[in-house]
Amino acid sequence: MPVDLRPGGSYIFKARRPDRMYHLIDDFASAGYTTLCVSRVHPEQLKEDFGIPEEIVFWLSNSVGTRNISPQNVGVLTDNLVRFYEGSAKPVAVLDGLEYLVMQNDFGKMLKLLNFLYETVIVRKGILIATIDPRAFSTQQLAFIEKDSIIVEEQEIVTIAGSAVDPRSRGGFHQAWDAQGNL
């Protein structure tokens, strides 16, 4: 059964690499959503590899820059994400780098960020998509992360408000699938 990505939902994509999540940004933008990307991948690389405009990206980095956020400053990250949800129509934020946030802070701070965003997403009718590599977390930590989110496994079909997308697609836009999973 496909996982339907709907307003008010927080989703955790389990994957070794966040590529699938990055491909969904085009699909959301095409469906009229306002998107924001927070990532460990440099914005120029995201633009080159996935066509993601640099102006919608915050880079989790210790480097100084106007669109950079220090991973140790979880408060600034939280503030930017909350302002995005409060000020955008049909907001979707994609978040990569939770493992890096844990490494730069601790698990508790990262979990508090996810819990706060979970509440914000519900109230503002936004969508949060985060990726995690399950190998980086203990079983107990995964249980905490998964508690308030819908889990999307690597090969599960996802839909955006009922329009299916191919989880294996490598292009910017995904091919539509019917309800039976056929192209």
DSSP state of 41: S
Q: In this predicted structure, what is the pLDDT of residue 117?
A: 93
The Cα–Cα gap between 177 and 183 comes to 5
Query: Quick one: tokens of 182?
Result: 């056929």
Superfamily (CATH) of domain 3-165: P-loop containing nucleotide triphosphate hydrolases (3.40.50.300)
**Average of per-residue pLDDT across 24-39:** 92
Q: What angle do CA 61, 153, 136 make, to 5 degrees?
A: 45
CA dihedral (127, 130, 131, 134) positive or negative: negative
pLDDT exceeds cutoff 70 at 135: yes
Mean pLDDT (the chain, rounded): 85
Q: In this predicted structure, what is the pLDDT of residue 165?
A: 57
Sheet (strand 158-160) strand order: 3-5, 158-160, 163-165
pLDDT digits (tens, 9 = 90+) for 71-130: 999 999 999 999 999 999 999 999 998 889 888 988 989 999 999 999 999 999 999 999
Q: In sequence order, what E strands does 28-167 have? A: 34-39, 57-60, 68-69, 91-95, 127-132, 150-152, 158-160, 163-165
Composition of the chain by helix, strand, coil, percent to 5? 40, 20, 40
Q: What angle do CA 104, 134, 53 make, to 5 degrees?
A: 65
Query: Quick one: tokens of 48?
Result: 């080159």
pLDDT digits (tens, 9 = 90+) for 41-64: 999 999 999 999 999 999 999 998
pLDDT exceeds cutoff 70 at 180: no
Residue ranges per structural domain of the chain: 3-165
Q: In this predicted structure, what is the pLDDT of residue 161?
A: 75
Q: In this predicted structure, what is the pLDDT of residue 181?
A: 35
Are 79 and 70 a contacting pair, CB within 8 Å? no
Which residue has tokens 């955790």? 12
Q: In this predicted structure, what is the pLDDT of residue 65?
A: 85
pLDDT exceeds cutoff 60 at 171: no
Q: In this predicted structure, what is the pLDDT of residue 79?
A: 94
Q: In this predicted structure, what is the pLDDT of residue 87?
A: 93
